[in-house]
């Protein structure tokens, strides 16, 4: 187990290239089950979660091969396996995304209940509701979902949950419906760019999907899908993390290989917090620090402020003059990083799903612990500005979602190194 040792106070500057999107890559990898032909994927980030999904695909009869940096070929060797076992699924929630493809093509699925980050309960009832609507019979026993469908049939399905649309459920149902008989209409569909990326991938394989990026997605089922070569979109959350790193360090960072349109609302909020932006093209921008100002943020599904960027902007405004308020509307218990930021000298009070951040003059180095992926990223952002040495423990969470994180920060001038955690 490793940790980061960070000496705060460096002003970040230079260029950083954003990796491919983890949250787009995982369902796209699952979607390769929908065809028996070869699939080549580019811009796949080399992350712990990605390697776990590749391991799962191997269990499901796929041969996976890194053919170049960030490029993977998936070849089918056996189309009879239907089980996503506990030892893999417990480590990565996105494993549930293989259920739809397995049902669509192999007519059966045995899926362990998923694991992942500890950021409050994330039930899979919406996934089950969607699969049942398409004609799946499901039984839950011994920690597994046993599902079978002689034939999937298109239907009008509403996937809205308690906290809004579900990204993974939208993706799961969309993949199942791609090979279903007739038309499926997903109402209350997630509008995230990662969902649209999956839809574009499926369409290039021969699917007939329209309405991507809107609350209603229409899928006309087809007989089969073919192989494809596809490039994954940039990771907007990684880009937002480097924007936060520039802002808290007083720096100026040139961010490349990003889709600036995926960042419209975050840029608006970081601008309110005092940062300045220069949009150079569709794929690059410059983020420059300014005098940090307080903000009010409600996390909401795309196109609004993403819950996955909440910890990072909280780190920045912990140093503002005034009081900021962040309301978390997606996941309960997603303020675990607040107590750790307070160990660095921040003044954050949490009441339910609302955090009140009273800006302080400075942060001081301390040992802090990552409880989940984005909390870990937020803590690293905080330590970049903390006086003295800090340690960020349990960074295996961060490894799940950030490719070469410390190397990219080092290239920008951060004093950060990875070391073994005792």
Shared domain check, 267 and 175? no
User: Where are the alpha helices (H) located in 205-263, listed in sequence order?
Assistant: 236-249
Query: Last residue of a domain, which of 174, 204, 231?
Result: 231
- Confidence at 164, pLDDT banded by 50, 70, 90: confident
Q: What is the pTM of this model?
A: 0.96
Q: Is the pLDDT of residue 331 over 90?
A: no
Mean pLDDT over the full length of the chain: 95
Shared domain check, 293 and 165? no
Shared domain check, 208 and 259? no
Please report the DSSP string for 62-125 in residue order: EEEEEEETTEEEEEES-S---EE-HHHHTT-GGGGGGHHHHHHHHSEEEEEPP----SS----H
Name the active-site residue from 44, 60, 103, 117: 117
Q: Is the pLDDT of residue 117 over 80?
A: no
Query: Last residue of a domain, which of 190, 214, 231?
Result: 231
Shared domain check, 331 and 249? yes
Shared domain check, 193 and 170? yes
Residues 6+ apart with CB under 8 A from 224: 35, 179, 206
Shared domain check, 55 and 148? yes
**Residue ranges making up the domain that contains 48:** 22-231
Q: Is the pLDDT of residue 10 over 50?
A: yes
Q: Does the active-site annotation cover 117?
A: yes
Instruction: Specify the residue for token string 């990083």.
Output: 337
Shared domain check, 301 and 239? yes
Provide the CATH number for the domain around residue 69. 3.65.10.10
pLDDT of residue 142: 86
Shared domain check, 264 and 150? no
pLDDT digits (tens, 9 = 90+) for 73-116: 999 999 999 999 988 888 888 889 999 999 999 999 999 877 54
Shared domain check, 174 and 157? yes
Shared domain check, 45 and 15? no
Shared domain check, 55 and 11? no
pLDDT of residue 115: 54
Query: Last residue of a domain, which of 198, 231, 264?
Result: 231
Q: Per-residue pLDDT averaged across 271-291, rounded?
A: 98
pLDDT digits (tens, 9 = 90+) for 382-396: 999 999 999 999 999
Q: Is the pLDDT of residue 219 over 70?
A: yes
- Specify the number of domains making up the chain: 2
Shared domain check, 163 and 207? yes
């Amino acid at each position: 187990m490793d940790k980061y040792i960070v000496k705060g106070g460096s002003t970040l500057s230079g260029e950083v290239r954003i990796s491919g999107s983890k949250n787009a890559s995982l369902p796209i990898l699952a979607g390769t089950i929908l065809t028996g032909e070869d699939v080549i994927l580019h811009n796949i980030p080399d992350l712990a979660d990605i390697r776990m999904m590749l391991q799962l695909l191997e269990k499901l009869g796929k041969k996976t091969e890194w053919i170049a940096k960030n490029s993977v070929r998936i070849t089918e060797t056996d189309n009879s396996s239907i089980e996503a076992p506990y030892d893999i699924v417990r480590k990565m929630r996105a494993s549930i995304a293989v259920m739809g493809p397995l049902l669509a093509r192999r007519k059966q699925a045995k899926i362990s209940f998923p694991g992942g980050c500890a950021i409050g309960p994330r039930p899979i009832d919406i996934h089950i509701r969607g699969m049942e609507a398409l004609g799946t019979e499901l039984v839950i026993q011994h920690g597994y979902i046993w599902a079978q469908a002689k034939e999937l049939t298109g239907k009008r399905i509403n996937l809205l949950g308690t906290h809004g649309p579900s990204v993974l459920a939208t993706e799961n149902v969309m993949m199942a419906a791609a090979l279903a008989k007739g038309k499926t209409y997903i109402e209350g569909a997630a509008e995230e760019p990662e969902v649209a990326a999956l839809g574009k991938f499926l369409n290039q394989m021969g699917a007939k999907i329209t309405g991507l990026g809107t609350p209603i997605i229409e899928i006309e089922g087809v007989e089969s899908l073919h192989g494809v070569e596809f490039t994954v979109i940039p990771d907007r959350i990684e880009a937002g993390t480097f924007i936060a790193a520039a802002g808290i360090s007083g720096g100026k960072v040139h961010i490349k290989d990003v889709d600036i349109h995926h960042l419209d609302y975050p840029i608006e909020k970081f601008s309110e917090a005092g940062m300045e932006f220069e949009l150079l093209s569709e794929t690059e921008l410059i983020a420059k620090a300014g005098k940090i100002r307080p903000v009010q943020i409600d996390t909401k599904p795309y196109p609004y402020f993403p819950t996955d960027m909440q910890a990072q902007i909280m780190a920045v405004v912990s140093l503002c003059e005034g009081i900021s308020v962040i309301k978390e509307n997606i996941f309960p218990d997603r303020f675990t990083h607040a107590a750790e930021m307070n160990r660095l000298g921040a003044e954050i009070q949490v009441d339910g799903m609302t955090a009140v951040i009273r800006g302080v003059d400075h942060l001081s180095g301390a040992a802090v612990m990552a409880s989940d992926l984005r909390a870990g990223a937020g803590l690293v952002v905080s330590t970049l500005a903390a006086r003295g040495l800090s340690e960020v423990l349990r960074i295996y969470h961060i490894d799940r979602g950030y490719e070469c994180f410390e190397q990219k920060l080092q290239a920008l001038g951060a004093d950060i190194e990875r070391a073994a955690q005792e």
